[in-house]
Amino acid sequence: MRVAELPPADLRRRLAGPGLALRTGPVTVHIRSALPDVADGLSLLYGDHSLAREGGFCDFHVRLAPPPGLRRWFRPQVCFYLDGHTPFKPLPRSQAFPMLEWGLNWCMASFLNRHVILHAAVVARGDVAVILPGAPGAGKSTLCAALVGRGWRLFSDEMAIVSLEDGQLVPNPRPVSLKNESIRVIQDFVPEAVMGEAHVDTRKGTVAHMKPPAESVRRAQESARARYVVMPRYRPQGEGVMVPEGRAAMLMALVDNGFNYSVVGAEGFRVLADLIEDCRCFRFEYADLESAVAAFDALLAGEA
């Protein structure tokens, strides 16, 4: 059963009561919350995701609920609970759904240690996957959303999940997080995209999420091998430039962007070193999304 097949009243009832076991990429997450914003966000943005059977194994058990005390009513807040513990400070109640997304990212980056987890977007066309590492603000999520809007398959806008067993990239097609000006840019570039509510005054500014394509979610169990690593940077006054980068330098960039590299250690380095040997590496500056998408299409066509 998919989330969209649950009537809204049933979805809210299950979230407020026994909880919902949601399959997303390599994990199953058990979610509980009586907050309407959480139910509405899941209904809109996770509609194509599958539900696991009730009572089965879940990798993470999370709950979003008001904190005890006056903050349940006065300037209301929300807490993210993992197995009954609160790893983060409370946020304003209006930010409940972004907190769920940030909390799930933290869970996967912190505990999914049978993989190397990199701070990078991943997209694919056919059987060719491209890793897009980059610091916050570099424009990787915006570029990722634009490529996905033009037919590329979404693995993730936030983390590259590399299997320690075979070096394959594992999909985790969840909503794409967009910030500030990028929200309007993607709404104009991909007008058919389903966008969630814009949440203002978060620690990242204004945040909204784009629903992942149904086809990407349907293929969430189909891994792929990386063939390109492209480090993007948005330069509003610049020109689109795709510059080759050495594999050694890009390997160190991947290590620098590793969430759990200190945990997986030597085995993680070996997997990343093997991965980079199979890849062509570039640094990419772009000023507009139309030319950026064309540059990626040309790259895969062998014309760049």
Extract the tokens encoding 104.
Answer: 């799930």
Average pLDDT along the chain: 93
Give the list of residues 6+ apart from residue 289 with CB closer than 8 angstroms, or none: 142, 143, 146, 185, 189
Range name among 54-68, 95-109, 126-140, 151-165 with the lowest pLDDT average: 126-140
The pTM assigned to this predicted structure is 0.94
Q: pLDDT tens digits for 143-187?
A: 999 999 999 999 999 999 999 999 999 999 999 999 999 999 999
Q: pLDDT tens digits for 88-97?
A: 999 999 999 9
Q: Where are the domains of the chain?
A: 3-111, 115-301
CA distance 271 to 168: 9
Give the list of residues 6+ apart from residue 72 with CB closer than 8 angstroms, or none: 66
Q: pLDDT tens digits for 188-244?
A: 999 999 999 999 999 999 999 999 999 999 999 999 999 999 999 998 876 778 999
Helix spans in the chain (H) = 8-16, 36-45, 96-111, 140-149, 181-189, 214-218, 247-256, 261-277, 289-301
Residue 121: pLDDT band with limits 50, 70, 90: very high
Strands 27-33 and 20-24: antiparallel
